[in-house]
């Protein structure tokens, strides 16, 4: 939402259609910063790509969905079913394994299928899958469509769930610290603004839905308000206890084959103290930034 910051740096956001392309662009250093699913970022570090997690995109904002008429009432009911996950390298996959651990299930008790998030609601509607776990707005889509029901929201099963993180090239951290700081501050400020007033969230849904995500604003409004703590944009400093748990699950499932210490893949020195941040804007203009197709960085409304 801030185009030119007061320091004059220009931040533009580039939408991708899939994580592999995004990952390759980051590896090839065609982009230097991106939001991506946390375990994928950790996997890149494990594979020797010089990147660091510097901030979170949001907390929670993921749900496990099942068919409205299905008789699945709790996680135990998922035994023997087919559940779609966005990627092996998503924390959604690791959450499924965390729950399976808790319910005494082993690999294979639930069939996990990788599927692009936009296809999940239709697959559930068609009965190709029994359920899915994914970030918003693809849970809300089935819920609003009437064929899907929330089995769990992450806030109820893994509070402060980490889904997407801000990943930055190590070179950028080393050579342009103030720029990274500016970016993180901007995201933190937007987060604080979003969580300070429901009116702000509705504004964001309107503008982001129309001009950045190209998604139905009503869908985003639903995600941001039903209930309000369905997704959170404050408290976004990467915390060791969250990531140690993610690392342990990643090692258990084998998606990352070596253990790494928190400091090897996270640099949380940029995370500001949110209480001291001042938010320099209130309501949003209902139009995008004027200068052309380069769209300003907008952490609001999702990751």
Partner 1 sequence: MKTKVLFVVVVGLTLLTWAHISLNVGWDTVKANFGLATEDGHYSLTVGFLPVT
Partner 2 sequence: MIIPLLLIVLGVVLFVQSRRWPAAVQNVVLPGSVALVVLCLWHIGAAAQERPILPTPKLVAVALVNLVADGTLWRYVIASVFRVSVGFVLAAAVGIPFGLVVGWSTRAFTAFNPLVQGLRPISPIAWIPIAILLFGIGDGSAVFLIFLASFFPIVVGTMAAVRNISLVHVRSAQNFGLHGMELFRHVVFPASLPQIITSLRIALGVAWLVVVAAEMIAVNSGLGYMIIDARNQGMRYDLVVAGMLVIGAIGIVLDLGIRRLETFDEVRWGYAKR
Binding site for partner 1 (CB under 8 A): 4, 7-19, 22, 25-26, 31-36, 57-58, 61-62, 86, 117, 134-138, 163-164, 166, 172, 176, 179, 183, 212-215, 223, 231, 291-294, 297, 302-303
Sites for partner 2 among residues 147-176 (CB under 8 A): 147
Q: Least CB distance from residue 238 to partner 2, whole Å?
A: 26
Q: Of these partners, partner 1, partner 2, none, which one is at the site of residue 58 (CB under 5 to 8 Å by kind)?
A: partner 1
CA atoms within 13 A on the CB side of 147: 17
Q: Give least dist CB 86 to partner 1, A.
A: 7
Of 216, 234, 252, 260, which lies in the binding site for partner 2, with binding defined by CB under 8 A? 216
* Site membership for partner 2, residue 25 (CB under 8 A): yes
Angle (nearest 5°) at CA 299 between 27 and 46: 30
Non-local (6+) Cβ contacts of 217 within 8 A are 205, 206, 209, 210
CB of residue 251 to partner 1, shortest distance in Å: 25
Instruction: Round to whole Å and give the CA distance between 112 and 87.
Output: 10
- Asked if 132 interacts with partner 2 (CB under 8 A), we say no
Indicate whether 145 belongs to the interface with partner 2 (CB under 8 A). Answer: yes
Residue 69 interacting with partner 2 (CB under 8 A): no
By CB under 8 A, how many residues form the interface with partner 2? 29
By the 8 A CB rule, do 221 and 205 touch?
yes
Using an 8 Å Cβ cutoff, are 163 and 58 in contact? yes
Residue 145 touches which of partner 1, partner 2, none (CB < 5 to 8 A by kind)? partner 2
User: With CB cut-offs between 5 and 8 Å by kind, which of partner 2, partner 1, none does residue 179 bind?
Assistant: partner 1
Contacts of 133 (CB under 8 A, 6+ apart): 62, 63, 64, 65, 83, 84, 85, 86, 92, 93, 95, 96
Round to whole Å and give the CA distance between 259 and 211. 41
What tokens appear for 234 in the block?
Answer: 């404050």
Smallest gap from residue 299 Cβ to partner 2 (A): 18
User: Considering beta carbons, is residue 5 or 251 the nearer one to partner 1?
Assistant: 5
- Whether the CB-CB separation of 167 and 143 falls below 8 Å is answered with no
- Give residue for tokens 């082993």: 106
Task: Choose between 117 and 131: whose C-beta lies nearer to partner 1.
Answer: 117
Structure tokens at 194: 């979003």
> Of partner 1, partner 2, none, which one sits near residue 61, judging by CB under 5 to 8 A according to partner kind?
partner 1
CB of 58 to partner 2, least distance (A): 18
Using rule CB under 8 A, residue 49 touches partner 2: no
Tell which phi-psi region holds residue 127, choosing left (phi > 0), alpha (psi between -120 and 50) or beta. left
Q: Does 286 bind partner 2 (CB under 8 A)?
A: no
According to the binding rule CB under 8 A, does residue 214 interact with partner 2? Answer: yes
């Amino acid at each position: 939402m801030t185009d030119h910051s007061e320091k004059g740096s220009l931040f533009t956001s580039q939408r991708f259609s899939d994580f592999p392309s995004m990952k390759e662009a980051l590896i090839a250093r065609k982009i230097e910063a991106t939001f991506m699913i946390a375990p994928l970022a950790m996997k890149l570090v494990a594979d020797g790509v010089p990147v660091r997690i510097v901030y979170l995109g949001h907390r929670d904002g993921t749900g496990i969905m099942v068919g409205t008429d299905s008789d699945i009432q709790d996680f135990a009911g998922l035994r023997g079913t087919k559940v779609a996950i966005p990627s092996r390298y998503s924390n959604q996959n690791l959450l499924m394994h965390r729950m399976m651990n808790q319910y005494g299930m082993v690999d294979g008790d639930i069939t996990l299928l990788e599927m692009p998030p936009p296809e999940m609601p239709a697959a559930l509607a068609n009965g190709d899958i029994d359920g899915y776990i994914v970030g918003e707005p693809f849970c809300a889509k089935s819920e609003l469509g009437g064929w899907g029901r929330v089995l769990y929201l992450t806030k109820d099963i893994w509070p402060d769930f980490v889904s997407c993180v801000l990943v930055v090239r190590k070179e950028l951290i080393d050579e342009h610290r103030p720029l990274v700081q500016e970016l993180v501050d901007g995201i933190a400020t937007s987060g604080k603004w979003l969580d300070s007033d429901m009116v702000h969230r509705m504004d964001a849904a309107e503008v982001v839905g129309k001009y950045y995500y190209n998604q139905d604003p009503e869908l985003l409004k639903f995600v941001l308000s039903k209930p309000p703590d369905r997704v959170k944009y404050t408290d976004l400093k990467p915390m060791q206890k969250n990531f140690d748990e993610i690392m342990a699950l990643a090692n258990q499932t084998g998606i990352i084959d070596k253990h790494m210490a928190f400091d090897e893949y996270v640099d949380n020195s940029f995370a500001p103290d949110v209480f001291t941040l001042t938010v320099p804007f209130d309501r949003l203009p209902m139009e995008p930034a004027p200068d052309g197709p380069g769209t300003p960085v907008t952490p609001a409304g999702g990751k």
